[in-house]
Amino acid sequence: MDAITLLQQVRRIEIKTRRLSDQLFSGEYQSSFKGRGMSFAEVRPYQSGDDVRSIDWNVTARKRAPYIKVFEEERELTLFLVIDISKSIQFGTSERSKRDSLTEIAATLAFSAMGNNDKIGLILFAGEVEKVIPPKKGKKHVMRIIQALLESEPKSTGTNIELALEHLLKIQKRHSNVFLMSDFMGKIPEKSFKIAAKRYDLCAIHSFDQKEKSLPSVGIIPLRDLENGAVRWVNSSSKELRNKLLKRSENKTIELSSLSKRSGAGLISIEMKEDYVPPLLNYLKSKSR
């Protein structure tokens, strides 16, 4: 992609997603993700009714009178976008690919976080972690993230969600709002998913194309594996094959839904031809209740 085309795409996404963020998402984002950590502010003399668990025993011993620690809510938050850019994400039978959809969703969330004065970080992954942008604030930083989403091409094959989550757990120790965005074609790592859900406010965004679940019955056709380029000829009219594809897709959806519920993570499933605004808004509204 040449520089002029890239800048045009960045600008187009900025205009669309910034408008959505300003008009629809900023208020919902702010009410859904509030500061939840507590930072130390000061010590003061103990007063009747104070929680004894807040007593600062070192100061109490030094002053020879009870003192307690006073904390204040940390308002500054971090949004981390962990996004699959593997070859399968480039699939799409409509005008848009799964990657196009995830890029717009990520940009909308980033602008919403920017409006809330939050930091935004990015991890792009395929078979390996491909790119990491540490969390920062500001429009310039958001535009850098959008550019990375548009121009980054995977150097590794496959989809390794486990490596992406393990890298996130290694570099982001504090509580954060994390959106894990993928078509979840690869193995879903139960252990790292649960650990991430416990440490962060985790939501999985599942992007899929309905045509991946059901082949059109048009006889013998070539199917190319986007991950490794291999081509296989199949009989799309075979009822056994069509049922097998449908069952595999349904099992993957059930697996992801079940894991999200057990882990306490959020889940948003978005079909390619579906408008992503309503399900994303519904999720944010559900968190603010």
Cα–Cα distances in Å, from 215 out to 218, 242, 277? 8, 6, 27
Comparing C-alpha atoms, which of 54, 37, 36 is closest to residue 45? 54
Band (pLDDT 50/70/90 cuts) for residue 209 is confident
Q: Over the stretch 37-63, which tens digit does the pLDDT of each residue have?
A: 555 667 889 888 788 888 999 999 999
pLDDT of residue 240: 82
Q: Are 9 and 265 in contact (CB under 8 A)?
A: no
**Single-letter code of the amino acid located at 66:** P
Measured N-to-C along each axis, helices 3-20 and 139-151 cross at an angle, to the nearest 10 degrees, of 120
pLDDT of residue 186: 83
Q: Which domains, and CATH codes, for the chain?
A: 3-33+75-288 (3.40.50.410), 38-73 (no CATH)
Measured N-to-C along each axis, helices 190-199 and 161-171 cross at an angle, to the nearest 10 degrees, of 30
Provide the 10 A C-beta neighbour count for residue 79: 24
- What's the pTM value of the predicted model, to 2 decimals? 0.81
Say if residue 273's pLDDT is above 90.
no
d(CA 172, CA 36): 16
Q: Over the stretch 212-240, which tens digit does the pLDDT of each residue have?
A: 777 777 788 887 766 666 778 888 788 88
Residue 103, phi then psi, degrees to nearest 5: -65, -45
Q: Are 21 and 30 in contact (CB under 8 A)?
A: no
For residue 123, the cross-strand partners are 82, 132
d(CA 50, CA 52): 6
The structure tokens listed for 278 are 């309503």
Across the chain, what does the average pLDDT equal? 87
Band (pLDDT 50/70/90 cuts) for residue 180 is very high
